[in-house]
Structure formats: C-alpha cells, structure tokens
Chains A and B, each alone.
Chain A
Amino acid sequence: MRELTGVGGLIRLILRRDRVLTPLWVLFVGLVPVSYVAAIDGLFPTEAGRRAYAAASGHNGGFVALYGPLHGSSLGELVAWRAGFIPIVIGLFSILTVIRHTRTEEEAGRRELLGSTVMGRHAGLAAALAVTMAADLVLGAILAGGLVGQGLPATGSWALGLGFAACGWVYAAVAAVAAQLTGGAGGARGIAIGLLGATFVLRVTGDLSGLSSDGTLTWASWLSPIGWAHRVRPYAGEAWWPLALAAGVAALLVAVAVALSARRDIGAGLLPQRLGPASAGAGLRSPLGLAWRLHRSLLAGWTAGFLALGVVLGYLAEGIGDLVRDAPAMSDIMIRIGGVRGLVDSYFSGLVALFGLLAAGYAIQATLRAREEESSGRAEPVLGTAVGRVRWAAGHLAFSLLGPAVALAAAGLAMGLTHGLNTGDVGRELPRVLGAAMVQLPAVWVLGAVAVLLFGLLPRLAAVSWGALAICLLIGLVGPALRVDKRLLEVSPFTHLPRLPGGPMNVTPLLWLAVVAAVLAGAGLAALRRRDIPAA
C-alpha cells in the first residue's frame, strides 16, 4: 500500500480543482436522458404511436448509427435508445479527466512538485482514476434515480445508469494506459480518443450490419465498450453480464497501466522519444509553416476518422434499401418518404448532418489552438518577430477553415464511392453524396467563426464556443423530434442548410451563412488587433 501513500490528499486536490466543472458536467449529462421521458411521452402518448415511431426510427440507418439498435417500443426502451449517444460523451469525459490529472500534470511539472512530498509512486494515477470512475458512477446513479423518479421501472433504469458508468470506466482505464505510453499529454489524448473513435466505428458497423439483410458484421458491436452499454438491454429483459465484461476489461486495463507506470521514469513515455532535425526545413519559415507543423496530425486524425466512418456508412447504405425491399410491412413508411431512393437519401442526409456537427467540433478545436498558443506563452516569441497578429492567427485559421473542408470531402468521397460501387452507379452517387457533405461547410464555418470572435473579444471565455456547438447538437438531434419553437431551431446554422441529397438545392442560405461567418471572424480578428497579448 506504500505505493498509494498520499492518494487521499491528491483526490481532495483534484476535487478542489474540478469543483465546478465536474459536478456541472455530471449533473447535466446525467439529467439529459431524464428529460427524454416527458418529451417522448408527450409526443407519443399511445402504444400505437410509439410502435410506429419505433418501427420508422429503428430502421433508419442514421439514427441507428447515432443511438444504437432499437428492439422494442416501450417508453423505457425509447428513452434508453435515444440516450444511446451518451456513452460516447461519458467516454470522452473520462478520457479527458484522467489525462488531465496524470499526463498533463506531469508535463507541467506539477507532478514532480507533489512527487517530492510524501507520495506513493502510483498515487497520482490512482487518484485520477478514483475521481473519474466515481464521477461516472455518480452520473449513472443520477440518471437511474431521475428515470425512476419519472416513473420508469427501477431495474431497467439502474441497468441503463450502470451500463453508462461502466462504459466510462473502460475509457478511463484506456486513458490510464495511454498516459503511460507517450511523452506528452497531447499524444496520450490522441491515442485514447482515437481508440474511442475506433470503437464507435466498430459499434456503428455492427449495428448497421444488424439492420441489413445479411448481418455478417454484427459481431463488430461486441468489440466496442459502447456496444456493451447498449447490450445491457435496459427495460428489454436486462442482461447483466455485459456490465461484468466492462468492469473486468476496465480492471485489466488499470492493471496494465499500473504495471507500465512502474516501469517508466517520470516525464518519459514507453514509446521512445525521437530526435528531430538539427535545422528547419525550407517550409518552416512563416506562421503558416508553423501552423502546418502544429495542425497536421490533428488534420490527419480527423480526415482518417471521417474516411473510415465514411467507408463503413457508405458501404451499409445499400443494405438499408434491401431491408425495406424485403419487408412489405415497411412499405407505408417507405412510400411516405419517397421509396427506396428516398430512404437511402434520408439516411445520407442524416449522416452528412452528423458529419457537419463533428466537423464543426474540429473547426472549433483548430481555432482554439491559437488561444492555447497564446495562453501557453508560445505566441509571444512569434509575435516578437516581424509577424503581425493577424498573420499569426491566420496561420491557425487556415486550418480551422480548410481542415473541416478536407475532412468533410473525405467523408463525402468515401460514402459516395462505396455506395456508388455497391449500386454500380458511381457517376450518380459520388457527386450527390460528396455535394451533400460539402454543403455543410458554411454552417461549420459559422461555428468556427464564433470561436474566432470569442478568441479575439473575450479570450478567456474562448472555450465557451464548445457551448455553441452543444446547442447546435442539441437542436439538431433533439429539436425536430420534440417540436421546439421554430425560431429556436433557427439559432443553429445547420437548420438553414438544404436537406441533401434528395432535397432541393438552395444557394441563398449558404451564401448568407458564409457572410455571417466572415463577419464574425472579421470582428474577432479586429478585436485581436486591439487587445493585449497575452490577455489579462
């Protein structure tokens, strides 16, 4: 136990530092699904209504990709299904928290400061894991308690809450392992989030394959901790053993992390540090050249992720059509949404909207890199040379503008190509799907421009731009189903985009969105020119 000396103090330190963020987050994410109960009950008060909704949505590839498989049509099942995206959010939170309190601390040298006091070797890792896993559990308990309070069966509610918490545990443990591998927090975060993305793709692959007629890839969902959370089957004859599977894998990963941590030095990673070149290449001579070096791995990661997801989703599109052709019972709904073509089109238009929201996340992330450069002090030596502020910022903005364009193009190309190869008509499908993906761009830019505006005007609140994305996400995912006021929906730039493929193309809103983005970004840059750097 000597290895854990001081863990109590560290836990208190983490709780003190996160005393605002963590409770807010746990409460918010825990209560969002609780709000679904009243919403869905209000929309579909009758058994028949719910069954029709379940039949239509449970076979919609876009929805299944996002939320997971839907089996029954009880109120509880619909709520649990609708909350199916939340395990990813919990996983992301768990990863970020663990890395922040392990690797980031080490990188900043604070770990060393604490390590010289009476503290065991594994105390830091143990404290970060303890806090994160406890937060996951509290989140699950709030969720379960809330759902029981709304009148849903207790067994199913606890299955849902514990399934989500266990999913968080697995990713917390994944992050603990990743934190031992690399020499820096950025690398560790990249590995863990990359794995989260990969397991999401596996789950989507398996679940969508389960929709299509052959179902040969259904097993892929079983490789994903997100899939395990769904397979606890809340309210639908709960299966408890996926919980044990998740807890077991988490325990195993924690053991691996502890073993790795014992074998490495502080500040070092297990993956070897490579030496760089002794002098700079010809391209590294401007803010843009610097930005390329800082952004290229981020760009590569997003593009590769979009490409992989695009290949899988494009490949599965034709299967959606098959399913409807094989099931005459579905013909009603089918005719309503415009036949098999219409169904596939709505599948794609749902997916490109999702890609658009993700790409907006990338745009914000890339923009906030400039803020990170400022607050870490790395902007100062650059601005001390003959580089003006706007030129410095423009290097980063080039990537927040064009990066999402590249990623969206990758997704559109991959989906269009694989689907076109399936139907044997690449010439028709490729431009349609690619175009639909690229149409998202002006809305993506608006969100990136919100980040630029905040960065210029209120730099310390720049991270609030994630809130803008969260609002758009909420409006996009929940809004239409919940019959929210139309004016509220129009807050999100994504609401104004033409529904492609299938819908009528309209250039006017795209131009307007581009103008709004340009004005916001221009105002942000103007404010940047006038303010102090670093901002007080």
Chain B
Amino acid sequence: MTDAISASGLVKTLGPTRALDGLDLTVRTGEVHGFLGPNGAGKSTTLRVLLGMMRADAGTALLLGGDPWAEATELHRRLAYVPGDVTLWPQLSGGEVIDLLGRMRGGLNKQRRAELLERFDLDPRKKGRAYSKGNRQKVALVAALASDVELLLLDEPTSGLDPLMEEVFRDAIREEKRRGDRTVLLSSHILAEVEALCDRLTIIRDGRAVETGTLDELRHLTRTTIDAELTAPADGLAALPGVHDLRAGEGRVRFDVEAAALEPVLRELAAAGVRSLVSRPPTLEELFLRHYDRSGAAAAEEKVSR
C-alpha cells in the first residue's frame, strides 16, 4: 500500500524566515500520525504545503498519490482539514458552516453530523461571532469528522477545547482508527494527546523533522531513568559508557542510561546487590524536551523564559 503522505526535503521561505528547512514526512495509510513541535516550528506551514495553499520552494510532496499543488481540487474531495485558528463568518450559523463545508467537499454523513453535534454539545444555531474559541473549533471538527474522507489533516485541533471535550475528541479519533481505512495527521504540541492517540509520530524543530517513528522506537533511541537501592556501592557505574546524570548517596543511585548500554549497567547493579529497582521509560515530554534542549540557543532561551 502506498503512503498517504510522503514529503521529502520540503523547503519554504516565508519572508525573512525559513519556515521549512528540508522537512521529511511519511504518513502511512490507515495510521494516526502525530506531528509534534512547539509553536513556530513549521507545522502549519507543512499542512498548507500539503493542501496546495502554499508552494514549496524545493522538495517533493505526494498526498494520496497526487501532487498537492497541481491537483489540489481533486485531492481535497478525499480529505478534510481543520485549520489551527478557526474563524467563522459572523453572519452564518454553526450548522450552516458545517453543511456548507461538507457540501463543498462533496458530501456529509447526516447521521454522523447529528451524533457529533450531540457529543460535542454544540448548538448549531448560534451565529459565528457568538461562539467562543472552543466552540468555533468544534464547528470545524464536526464539519471534518462528519465527512467520509480518506485523510484528516488536523492542525492543533484541541486548542481551546476543555478537558471534557478533549476526551470526546480522542474518542472520535479512536473510532476513526478502528474503522481502519482513515489516515489522520494530527499536529499538536500537547504531548499527552499524541501519546494517547498516535501510532507513529514525527518531531519537528525549526522546519526540519528531527525524529520519526513509533513511540517505542523513539524511546529506544533515548534514555531510561533508573532509580535503585543497593546493598553495596556500585563504583563502576560512573565509568560505564552511556550512563548520564548519575547521583549516588546513602545506598541509592539514580541515573539515566542509554538503551544500548542497559545490559552492562544491569550487570553492574546486580553485582552490587539490588534491594529495589524502579526503571522508567522516558515520557514523551522528556523525549521532546531533550530534543529541544540540544537544539541550542533558541530552545534554551525558551526554557529559561518559562
């Protein structure tokens, strides 16, 4: 089966900034793919290139087997898009917007529309300007989820949703996943969401994909945190390759270890005598922060400012 999305080497310059700088992205058909990065990393620009709204300066992109720029109109029949910042027409009601977008896409599942309105607790009779940010987001989500399409492109779809509605959204995506034939590209900076929903994910930084794979694969590439109570000091630990941030004292050690170095480390611990041991795989958050920690000045600055 072909990939739903395959892009390689995408470059896009917007004014003085290089929004995309050789981005590679592969989304397999039928998967929910997380597209992770902080604000300004290039997520929205990537989606706009994939939608044929912007033309990449360099690189190639293939969407549902077609050229997203040249065949935009035909391809859009087979996908639904939720922009990151949803603005609605002040004079149109939410229900009208949902129907209009669905019809222009080529059809809407009436039953699913009613069901989604119910679940998202959305009043479709309100006019555009009367909706709060979260409710505007819901209008766009219902319009996208109620149409029978192969591909959903969602740009930070849960921004503005309350936790209850976020759960409704996750359920809806899980249902899509169970149907098996829908592909979802979910851009987000909410790690728990990506962790809960996505089969694979791509982490993007400064317009470039820095990591891609399943969560397990990504974890494998990084360090596990180990917290152990020992009967005797394990002096050899510090000398082992792949051990980081070692803190020892009063019969306890705590350190991070690279996946490849686990075996010798465990042997060393066993030799010292283990009373208790907690090993924790890195959370996505740690994984993410680690990438941005290493990214140099910009990311470091961001961390300081928090």
Inter-subunit contact B100/A274 (CB<8 Å): no
- Residue from B54, B92, B153 within 8 A of A532 (CB atoms): B54
- A284 with B76, Cβ < 8 A, contacts A184-B90, A377-B83, A385-B104 known: no
Inter-subunit contact B51/A384 (CB<8 Å): yes
Interface residue count on the B side (C-beta < 8 Å): 46
> Which residue, B14, B15, B53, B127, has most C-beta atoms of chain A within 10 A?
B53
Interface residues of B in 3-20 (CB under 8 A from A): 14-15
Inter-subunit contact B74/A386 (CB<8 Å): yes
- A273 with B130, Cβ < 8 A, contacts A279-B99, A386-B76, A536-B14 known: yes
A39 contacts the other chain (CB 8 A) = no
B28 contacts the other chain (CB 8 A) = no
B91 contacts the other chain (CB 8 A) = yes
B123: shortest Cβ distance to chain A, in Å? Answer: 8
Q: What is the bound-complex CA distance between A385 and B93, given in angstroms?
A: 19
Inter-subunit contact B87/A276 (CB<8 Å): no
- A386 with B91, Cβ < 8 A, contacts A276-B126, A377-B85, A380-B83 known: no
Residues of A within 8 A of B129 (CB): 107, 183-184
A275: shortest Cβ distance to chain B, in Å? Answer: 4
Interface residues of B in 82-96 (CB under 8 A from A): 82-83, 85-96
B160 contacts the other chain (CB 8 A) = no
B81: shortest Cβ distance to chain A, in Å? Answer: 4
Interface residue count on the A side (C-beta < 8 Å): 39
Inter-subunit contact A384/B81 (CB<8 Å): yes
Complex: chain A residue closest to B103, CB-CB: A285
Residues of B within 8 A of A284 (CB): 92, 96, 99-100, 103
B61 contacts the other chain (CB 8 A) = no
Inter-subunit contact A276/B72 (CB<8 Å): no
Q: What is the bound-complex CA distance between A277 and B98, given in angstroms?
A: 12
A429: shortest Cβ distance to chain B, in Å? Answer: 39
Inter-subunit contact B88/A378 (CB<8 Å): yes
Chain B 96-116 near chain A by CB (<8 Å), digits 1 or 0: 101111011110000000000
- Residue from B53, B73, B92 within 8 A of A293 (CB atoms): B92
A190: shortest Cβ distance to chain B, in Å? Answer: 12
A502 contacts the other chain (CB 8 A) = no
Inter-subunit contact A386/B104 (CB<8 Å): yes
Chain A 451-483 near chain B by CB (<8 Å), digits 1 or 0: 000000000000000000000000000000000
Q: What is the bound-complex CA distance between A338 and B96, given in angstroms?
A: 58
Q: What is the bound-complex CA distance between A254 and B82, given in angstroms?
A: 43
Residues of B within 8 A of A385 (CB): 76, 101, 104-106
Chain A 276-301 near chain B by CB (<8 Å), digits 1 or 0: 11111100111101100110010000
Inter-subunit contact A378/B89 (CB<8 Å): yes
- A275 with B104, Cβ < 8 A, contacts A280-B95, A293-B89 known: no
Q: What is the bound-complex CA distance between A285 and B98, given in angstroms?
A: 11
Residues of A within 8 A of B170 (CB): none
A369: shortest Cβ distance to chain B, in Å? Answer: 11
> Which residue, A183, A276, A387, A536, has most C-beta atoms of chain B within 10 A?
A276
- A278 with B124, Cβ < 8 A, contacts A382-B104, A385-B76, A532-B55 known: yes
Q: What is the bound-complex CA distance between A170 and B195, given in angstroms?
A: 60
Inter-subunit contact A378/B87 (CB<8 Å): yes
A139: shortest Cβ distance to chain B, in Å? Answer: 32
Inter-subunit contact B76/A273 (CB<8 Å): no
Q: What is the bound-complex CA distance between A297 and B81, given in angstroms?
A: 29
Q: What is the bound-complex CA distance between A289 and B96, given in angstroms?
A: 11
- Residue from B73, B83, B87, B124 within 8 A of A279 (CB atoms): B124
A533 contacts the other chain (CB 8 A) = yes
Residues of A within 8 A of B15 (CB): 536
Inter-subunit contact A273/B127 (CB<8 Å): yes
- Residue from B54, B81, B125 within 8 A of A381 (CB atoms): B81
Complex: chain A residue closest to B17, CB-CB: A536
A25: shortest Cβ distance to chain B, in Å? Answer: 27
Interface residues of B in 134-191 (CB under 8 A from A): 140, 143, 153
A110: shortest Cβ distance to chain B, in Å? Answer: 14
Inter-subunit contact A384/B87 (CB<8 Å): no
Complex: chain A residue closest to B74, CB-CB: A386
A535: shortest Cβ distance to chain B, in Å? Answer: 10
Inter-subunit contact A280/B53 (CB<8 Å): no
- Residue from A276, A285, A382, A533 within 8 A of B95 (CB atoms): A276
- Residue from B51, B91, B96 within 8 A of A383 (CB atoms): B51
A184: shortest Cβ distance to chain B, in Å? Answer: 5
Residues of B within 8 A of A536 (CB): 14-15
B63 contacts the other chain (CB 8 A) = no
A149 contacts the other chain (CB 8 A) = no
Q: What is the bound-complex CA distance between A278 and B125, given in angstroms?
A: 5
- A280 with B99, Cβ < 8 A, contacts A384-B51, A536-B14 known: yes
Q: What is the bound-complex CA distance between A285 and B101, given in angstroms?
A: 8
Residues of B within 8 A of A534 (CB): 53
B237 contacts the other chain (CB 8 A) = no
- Residue from B87, B103, B106, B126 within 8 A of A376 (CB atoms): B87
Chain A to chain B contacts (Cβ below 8 Å), 6 pairs: A276-B93, A277-B96, A284-B99, A286-B103, A380-B81, A386-B105
Q: Which residues of B pack against A, CB within 8 Å?
A: 14-15, 48, 51, 53-55, 72-74, 76-77, 79-83, 85-96, 98-101, 103-106, 124-127, 129-130, 140, 143, 153
Shortest Cβ-Cβ A-B pairs, 3 listed: A276-B93, A280-B99, A384-B81
Q: A184-B129, A278-B93, A377-B83 are in contact. List 5 more A-B contacts (CB 8 A).
A: A107-B129, A277-B125, A280-B103, A378-B87, A381-B86
